[in-house]
């Protein structure tokens, strides 16, 4: 959208948030698939919450880990893209169904509620208790 007063373009629906610093912290680096179990290990150690955001979710072992965490009282919430390139696979839909059937809050971005007309939620991260897991497989 063009704002004539400021002579600037702003993406429709964009938010302008300040950068927030958390101070010094520790970070671990690992490579997937060689150390793919490290992500599941972190998820399996959750005590209070798991906020998982992904472009897609098809891993049966991750689904099982999330269900087990939920059964031990961990608050588990999942957010995925509803329209990944090529469409949502049957395996992905089954994974989300399993989570929902087990009482886990599953949200899918897409359709009429998408923030931008051609929006893709391409994130790959999780907040596990007070830790962050940021991944990419691109």
Give residue 117's pLDDT.
Answer: 52
Pairing of strands 2-3, 131-134: unpaired
Residue 107: both structure tokens together: 């949200």
pLDDT digits (tens, 9 = 90+) for 39-53: 899 999 999 999 999
Under-50 pLDDT residues of the chain:
113
Specify whether the CB–CB gap between 43 and 126 falls below 8 A. Answer: yes
Give residue 60's pLDDT.
Answer: 94
3-state helix, strand, coil in the chain (%, to 5): 25, 20, 50
CA atoms within 13 A on the CB side of 81: 18
Q: Bridge-partner residues for 134, per DSSP?
A: 125
């Amino acid at each position: 959208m063009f704002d004539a007063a400021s002579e600037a373009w702003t993406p429709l629906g964009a938010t302008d948030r300040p950068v927030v610093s958390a101070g010094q912290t520790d970070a671990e680096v690992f490579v997937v698939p060689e150390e793919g179990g490290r992500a599941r290990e972190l998820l399996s150690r959750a005590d209070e919450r798991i906020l998982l955001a992904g472009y897609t979710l098809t891993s049966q072992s991750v689904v099982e880990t999330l269900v087990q965490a939920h059964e031990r009282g961990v608050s588990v919430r999942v957010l995925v893209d509803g329209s990944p390139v090529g469409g949502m696979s049957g395996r992905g839909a089954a994974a989300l169904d399993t989570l929902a059937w087990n009482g886990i809050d599953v949200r899918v971005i897409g359709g009429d509620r998408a923030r931008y007309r051609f929006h893709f939620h391409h994130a790959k991260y999780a907040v596990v208790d007070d830790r962050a897991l940021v991944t990419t497989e691109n």
